[in-house]
Structure 1
Amino acid sequence: MRGDIERILIDEEIIEKRLDVMAAEIERDFPQGNLLVIILLKGALVFAADLLRRVPRQLELECLNVSSYHGGTESSGVVNFLDRSFPEVRGRHVLLLDDILDTGRTLHAVAERLRTEGAEAVHTCVLLAKERPREEEVNADYTGFVIGDEFVVGYGLDYQGRYRNLPFVGVLTLDAIERGGA
C-alpha cells in the first residue's frame, strides 16, 4: 500500500497533536451533559475513534451511512442516505463528524436533515477541508487540517475501499489511481 503513496501529506504524529486540540475545543464549546455524536461512515470512523477517546465526557454514538463518491476520486454530486432508519435527534445537541469537506454537499445534506428532524443544535467537525469552492454554502465548526484540492487517502479515507488503514493522510500516485487502487 505504501508504494502507492506519492507523498505523505499529514503524518500520524501531527494528526494526534491536532486531535488533542480539537477535543479540548469540543469539550469547551458544548454544554455539559450527554453529547450525541453522529459519525458518517465509513470514512470518518478512524478519525472519530481517535478524536472521541480524547473527549472527557459521556457520549452517545450513532452512525450514518451516506455516500457521494461512489468509488471515484470526485464527488458524484448526489448524496445518498443508505440507512433505513435515522437517529433520534429531537432536542439534542449533535456533533456531526465527517472525514473530509470537499464539495460541501454531504455535510450540508446531513446537517439539514438533522435540523429537519428537530436537533436543537448541529455542529460539524471534519478531519480535512479542501481549499476549493463549495457546491453548498457550508463550513465546518471544527477542522483538523486545510489541504489543497487533491485526492487523498489514509486515516479512514479510501479509494475503491482501500487505504483506509494507513496511519497518515497521503496522496495516491497517478499509477495507483489508474489501476483503481488494486
Structure 2
Amino acid sequence: MHRDVERILINEEEIRERLDFVAKKVMAEFACDGLVVVILLKGALVFAADMCRRLPVTMTVECLNISSYHGDIKTSGKVEFLDKKMPEVADKKVLIMDDILDTGLTMRAVTDALLALGAAEVRNCVLLNKRKQRAGDCEADFKAFDIDDEFVIGYGLDYQGRYRNLPYVGVMKQGDI
C-alpha cells in the first residue's frame, strides 16, 4: 500500500470481478456493433481500457478531456471542455465512461453536448458512484461500485495528477490533501 493511502477501499481482485459483472450488464442492456465509447480523460483511462476489452462489439473509442476539479479536491462547479473537436456521434448509441460520478455536473454537461450533436442515445458507465446529493438530474446507468463521499485515488483517480497508477482504489490520508 502506498504511504499516502489511509486504507484500500477496493482491491484489484474486487475491481476485476465487478468489471466482468458490469460488462455483462452493458452487453445485455445497451451494447451494439457500432457503439461509440467516449472516455472522459484523464481519470477514466484505466477503467475504460479494462472495460472496453470486456465488450466484444465493434466500437469506436473517442476521448474527451474534461476538467471540473482544476487540481482541487472538490469540483469547481464549472465544467470545462479542453478539446476543441467533439466526437462524431450523430445517429449513434454512445456510452460515456468516467471514473467517478460525484456531483453529476460533468456527466450532465457531456451527455447534453453529445445529444446536441445528434447522438441517438447516450448512457454512462462509471467505476465509482458516490452516494451523495447530485447537483442536477444525473445518475449512473452502469456502475461498478457505490462509495461514500470521501476522497479516493488510484485506478485512474488522482490528486494533483498523481496516484493514477495505483492498481486499487484507496482513500487518501487527510493530512496529504
Task: Tell whether the structures are fold-level matches, with TM greater than 0.5.
Answer: yes
Q: How does 1:9-158 map to 2 (within 5 A)?
A: 9-30=9-30, 32-158=32-158
Gaps of 5+ in 2: none
Query: Partner amino acid for 1:148?
Result: D
Q: Distance in 2 between matches of 1:31 and 1:48?
A: 14
SS where residue 73 of structure 2 aligns?
coil
Q: For residues 32 and 135 of structure 1, do their structure 2 counterparts lie closer, same or farther at Cα, with a shift above 3 Å needed? A: closer
Q: Distance in 2 between matches of 1:59 and 1:93?
A: 10
Q: Distance in 1 between matches of 2:52 and 2:171?
A: 26
Q: Distance in 2 between matches of 1:34 and 1:86?
A: 17
Q: How far did 1:31 drift? A: 5.4
SS where residue 136 of structure 1 aligns?
coil
CA RMSD across the alignment:
1.0
Q: Distance in 2 between matches of 1:31 and 1:11?
A: 27
What is the identity percentage for the equivalent residue pairs of Structure 1 and Structure 2? Answer: 55
SS where residue 2 of structure 1 aligns?
coil
Q: How far did 1:90 drift? A: 0.6
Q: Deviations over 1:2-24 (max 9, x none)?
A: 00000000001000000001111
Query: Partner amino acid for 1:3?
Result: R
Q: Deviations over 1:109-134 (max 9, x none)?
A: 00011111100000111100111101
Q: Deviations over 1:82-138 (max 9, x none)?
A: 001101111000000011000000000000111111000001111001111011110
Q: Distance in 1 between matches of 2:126 and 2:157?
A: 12
Q: Deviations over 1:30-61 (max 9, x none)?
A: 25322110000000000000111111111110
Q: Which runs of 4+ in 1 moved over 6 A?
A: none
1:164 pairs with 2:170: no
Q: Distance in 2 between matches of 1:21 and 1:141?
A: 14
Q: Distance in 2 between matches of 1:90 and 1:34?
A: 12
Q: For residues 59 and 3 of structure 1, do their structure 2 counterparts lie closer, same or farther at Cα, with a shift above 3 Å needed? A: same
Q: Distance in 2 between matches of 1:59 and 1:70?
A: 31
Q: Distance in 2 between matches of 1:85 and 1:133?
A: 32
Aligned length: 177
SS where residue 20 of structure 1 aligns?
helix
Q: Which residue of 2 aligns with 1:180?
A: none
Q: Distance in 2 between matches of 1:80 and 1:34?
A: 28
Q: Distance in 1 between matches of 2:56 and 2:92?
A: 19
Provide TM-score, normalisation by structure 2: 0.98
